[in-house]
Chains A and B, each alone.
Chain A
C-alpha cells in the first residue's frame, strides 16, 4: 500500500465515523481486548447505561459469531495460512446511534442457510422474535464449540432494528458476508 492509500483509508474511515476497527484473526484474547476498549470508549463518550449495554451485547454476539464461523478466503495463497481466516469489524458512531459492521468469507452452503435464517428474523416483529428466541432456547442443543444458534435472534432483539446484510459472490464456492447492525 502506498502512503497515499494509507491516507485514503484513514479518510474513508473518518468519513464513515468509524470509532474502532479491526481486521485480522479473532482470537479469544483479542475479543476480550476489543470489548474492553469499546467499554472504555463508551464511558468516555458518556453513553447512557442502556446504550452501553445494548452495544456491548450486540458486539459480543457479532464477535463470537466471527470467532466461531469464519470460513477461509478463496483467494490465491499469498499470505500465511492464518491470515486466511480473518474478518473485519467496524464500530461506527453516527449522531445518536451506533452501528456494528462485520465482514467475513463464508462457504456457499452455509451462506444459503444463513440467508434463510436472516430473512426469517427480519420478517418478525418484536413479540414474534421473542417467541422465536424462547422456542429456540428451549429446543436447541449446544454444539461442542458452545454455539446455540441463538446469536442472530439475540442481535435482532437487542438492536431493535432489521438486520441489514449482503452476500457478495466471490466465486462458485465462496461469498463475502456483510452484516450491519444498527443500535438505537
Chain B
C-alpha cells in the first residue's frame, strides 16, 4: 500500500505514515478550526493498513501545539490503533523541556488508551 505523506501547514502537522516500517509520524502543530477534515485521510489510511500491518506499529507524536478540536481526533486515531490486530502497537509521545502541558496531555491519553506510551523529553521538537 502507499505511504501517506502530508506537508505541514500553518495549522496542520507534517504526516508521514509508512506501511512497511510501521512508523507513523505526526510532527508540528495541529490547530485547524475543523480538524475532522484533516484527520479523515489519516483514519482512512489506518483502516487500509489494518488489513496488512507491519509486525510492529509505532506512532511518533511530535506535536508542538494542538487544539481541542484536534485532541478528540487524536484520541480517535489512538482508538483505531488500539484495535489493530497482528501488530505490536506503541506510542512515542514527545514533549519539549519545561512543557508540562504537553507532558500532561500525553499522560491524559495514556490514562484513556490501552497502549504502551513512552514519554520522551527533548530540547526541541
Contact = CB atoms under 8 A, between A and B. Distances in A.
Interface of A: 28, 31-32, 35-36, 48-50, 53-54, 56-57, 60-61, 64, 67-68, 130, 133-134, 137-138, 140, 142, 144-148, 150-151, 153-154, 157-158
Nearest to B112: A138
Contacts, number: 77
Instruction: Kindly list the 8 A-B residue pairs having the minimum CB-CB distance in the complex, ordered from nearest.
Output: A146-B34, A150-B68, A148-B72, A146-B69, A142-B72, A154-B68, A151-B68, A138-B112
B65 A60 contact: yes
B65 to A, nearest CB: 6
A36 B73 CA distance: 24
A145 B71 contact: no
B53 interface: no
B33 interface: yes
A142 B99 contact: no
A134 B75 CA distance: 11
Interface in B56-97: 65, 67-69, 71-73, 75, 96
A145 B34 contact: yes
A53 B65 contact: yes
A157 B71 CA distance: 14
A53 B33 contact: no
A133 B108 contact: yes
Contacts of B65: 53, 56-57, 60
A49 B69 contact: no
Given A28-B33, A49-B99, A60-B31, A140 B69 contact: no
B5 interface: no
A130 B104 contact: yes
Interface string B93-109: 00010111110100010
Contacts of A28: 33
B36 to A, nearest CB: 5
